[in-house]
Amino acid sequence: MRTDITNILPEECISYILSLTSPTDVCRSKLVSPVFRSAADSDTIWGKFLPSDCYDIISNASSSSSSKLLTSSMSKTQLYFHLCKNPIIIDNGTMSFGIDKATGKKCYMLGARRLSIAWANTPRYWRWKRVPESRFSEVAELKEVWWLDVKGTIETKILSPNTTYVAYLVYKFSSSRYGFEKKPVDLHVELGESDAGRTFRIFLDPSANIPQFSREREDGWMEVKLGEFFNEHGDDGKATCSLREVDNYTLKKGLIIEGIDIRPKDSR
């Protein structure tokens, strides 16, 4: 006759054991029994899965009221799942912070205002505007350029250690677009000064007979992989992500940039 472990161990012990696994394993354990389901909802577990500096990051939220709401009215379990689905805006509205549901590791998006975009403040070439589907207050819309150069950098020390990160350009096209079906763009990610990285060349708006590397996100935007890097201890300085097309012979217009999403590999 088999002994039911839930008749021997108190729920607190089961919660502690589950906290030594992963968020995915904890969610699966809910199917075992009602006792496991109750133990899996414990703040003891989800508090350990939250990043250690989570509350410090939340305190830097753009809205003090939202920061207060998250820290004071939500349990750690509620906060974990809230941040998985609802990234918060930080750093004066230029970045967002969330966590990966499967691992609890940090996810950031660099908003368009945080990026280095050549000619971004020249009204002839770029226009800043609000769109309701963006998490940020402004996005950048390309009016026309020959020289396209977009870069974003992030300090590796704020990312989760021992994690492979992937950077994605988050974008869409306006109804009037041109040039991206004619000329490929260079996508690149490099880590610190010692890693030259790898460059990919793709069409952002390919014709029917050319492979499509972009995909639609759940939020309605498109994303394309810029590259990836391994963050070991967070002491590599900065990771730099870029999009370029600078031959000066192809006019381009209609690209709308929301930002650069940086999240753990295989998180979706």
HSE at residue 48, side-chain half, CA atoms within 13 A, is 15
Question: What would the pLDDT profile of 61-88 be if each residue is shown by its tens digit?
Answer: 877 656 667 777 899 999 999 999 999 9
Q: Is 118 buried (19+), middle (13-18) or exposed (0-12) by CB count in 10 A?
A: middle
- Cβ(152)–Cβ(110) under 8 Å? yes
Distance (Å, whole) CA 190 – CA 81? 31
Question: What would the pLDDT profile of 236-250 be if each residue is shown by its tens digit?
Answer: 789 999 999 987 788
* Residue ranges, CATH 1.20.1280, the chain: 5-47
Q: Which residues pair with 36 in a beta bridge?
A: none
Per-residue pLDDT tens digits of the chain, which is 268 residues long: 455 555 566 667 777 777 777 888 887 877 677 777 777 778 888 889 999 999 999 988 877 656 667 777 899 999 999 999 999 999 999 999 999 999 999 999 999 999 999 999 999 999 999 999 999 999 999 999 999 999 999 999 999 999 999 999 999 999 999 999 989 999 999 998 766 678 999 999 998 888 889 999 999 999 999 999 999 988 878 999 999 998 778 899 999 999 999 999 985 5
Distance (Å, whole) CA 151 – CA 146? 16
Distance (Å, whole) CA 116 – CA 73? 37
Amino acid letter, 37: R
Domain 5-47 has CATH 3.10.290: no
- Looking at domain 107-264, its CATH superfamily turns out to be Galactose-binding domain-like (2.60.120.260)
* Residue ranges, CATH 2.60.120.260, the chain: 107-264
HEC per residue, 7-64: HCCCHHHHHHHHHCCCHHHHHHHCCCCHHHHHHHCCHHHHHHHCCCCHHHHHCCECCH
- For 98, other C-beta atoms within 10 Å of its C-beta total 19
